Structure 1
């Protein structure tokens, strides 16, 4: 939820946190300060993270209100990385956090944490989000360390030259061991996508890894990079992902979709890859269905 209000004559000259309390009486001072600290406040569309900022009459203040449980501090250290060299680094994104900043949040996103890590190395480069994972999806995310690396990997992603492997748990047994979905994807509403015309070309190959009790672990290879592609193509196949309520999946501890690995080659032909282990919740849900990931 985003709240907006113009600074009145009464609030003009006040500190941002005091003035915001006057403009948004439904919020506590602590809530307002948390929103400011976590990057959910803008003044006339510019991000402001200083509670003592002085307000001027006519300023448009916007506050992004999010659930307290989403305020999770993320810090990446060298030992946390899946891969790092002079051009790229890779992290294992946790389920339930955002890949990049939103109108509600900067701090507590992968983008912010990676930028903080780069700063710790003495770099002035921003964290460039050249591909992203849905909030409920975990796994490998690569970040370029400089503009040339960003240009190269962005080209590879656009041309389908980055090999991506996902694991997904579905609550059924597929009729085939291997199959490919070649079906266009279109936006249906603000939150959902689906196989529809007109839509953007999308192609995903699937393979059964292991069948358990009422569920199957699937390996997915997306050849294109459409929003919600694997989720939509599995739902289209009659196999919604466990935990994916948006597309009809049964309830679970988390959405059971994980980017297991990514691989590509640098400009000079060096092979780069990263593989991400699954988290405890993913492993537990698989075990509940009789699937041992070991």
Structure 2
């Protein structure tokens, strides 16, 4: 929820938190301070994280009110990273986290946590979000550690030179073991995409990894990188992802889509790769439906930068 108000002559000269309490009486002072601290407040179109900031008449205040469950402290330690070398680091993004800052928050996002990690390592570089995962999707996210590395991986992504492998759980058994979807993806509502014209050319390769009782584990390899592409293409095939309620998936503790691995060639010719383990909710769903992940969990070169 976004709340907006303009500072009147009566609030001019007041502290931000006091003025916001007067302008938004439905919120407590504690809620307001939390919103400010988490990066969900802008004054005159600039994010402000200091509750004592003095206001001027006519300034616009915008507060982004998050659901309580989104206030999750997020930090990364070196031993928690999937890989970290001189140019790139990779993290295993958890389901339910935002990749980057939103009008509601800065803290608690992967972007902010990586920025803090880099700062702790003595780097003044920001976290550059060069590819994204949906909030409900877990798995590998790469971050370049400086601008030349960012330019290189962005070029690789744009040229389709980054190999991305996803795991997705669907409720039905596909008619074939492997197939490819070439179908344009277009925005059809504020938060939803679909196969439609006019749309952006989109291609995804799928194959069955394991079939269980009432569920099938699929591998998805997106050839292009459109928003919601895998979700849209599976829905188009009549196979919505379990837990993906907006696209018709069955209810589940989370959306069962996981970026299992990513790999690409760095500027010096070496292969940079990362593989992310699935979380307990994903693993438990598989086990509960008779899908054995053990044979799939040992890739030949996991999280390597040879």
TM-score of the aligned structures, taking structure 2 as reference length? 0.96
**Whole-angstrom CA distance in 1 between matches of 2:234 and 2:271:** 30
> Residue 140 of structure 1: CA displacement?
0.1
**Whole-angstrom CA distance in 2 between matches of 1:68 and 1:234:** 31
Match of 2:267 in 1: 267
2:89 maps to 1:96: no
Q: Deviations over 1:86-112 (max 9, x none)?
A: 000000000001000000010000000
Match of 2:212 in 1: 212
1:31-180 maps to which residues of 2 (within 5 A)?
A: 31-180=31-180
SS at match of 1:234: helix
**Whole-angstrom CA distance in 2 between matches of 1:161 and 1:271:** 12
CA-based RMSD of the aligned residues comes to 0.5
1:18-33 maps to which residues of 2 (within 5 A)?
A: 18-33=18-33
Q: Which runs of 5+ in 1 are unaligned?
A: none
Q: Deviations over 1:245-281 (max 9, x none)?
A: 0100000010000000000001121111000000001
Match of 2:238 in 1: 238
SS at match of 2:224: coil
Match of 2:298 in 1: none
> Residue 287 of structure 1: CA displacement?
1.3
SS at match of 2:259: strand
Number of residue pairs matched by the alignment:
294
Q: Deviations over 1:98-147 (max 9, x none)?
A: 00000001000000000000000111111000001000000000000000
SS at match of 2:263: strand
**Whole-angstrom CA distance in 1 between matches of 2:132 and 2:214:** 30
Q: Deviations over 1:158-177 (max 9, x none)?
A: 00000000000000000000
> Residue 289 of structure 1: CA displacement?
1.1
SS at match of 1:62: strand
SS at match of 1:112: helix
Match of 1:285 in 2: 285
**Whole-angstrom CA distance in 2 between matches of 1:287 and 1:13:** 60
Q: Which runs of 5+ in 2 are unaligned?
A: 295-306
> Residue 186 of structure 1: CA displacement?
0.3
**Whole-angstrom CA distance in 2 between matches of 1:187 and 1:87:** 35
Match of 2:303 in 1: none
**Whole-angstrom CA distance in 1 between matches of 2:228 and 2:257:** 11
SS at match of 1:17: helix
**Whole-angstrom CA distance in 1 between matches of 2:289 and 2:152:** 41
**Whole-angstrom CA distance in 2 between matches of 1:69 and 1:30:** 16
**Whole-angstrom CA distance in 2 between matches of 1:109 and 1:286:** 28
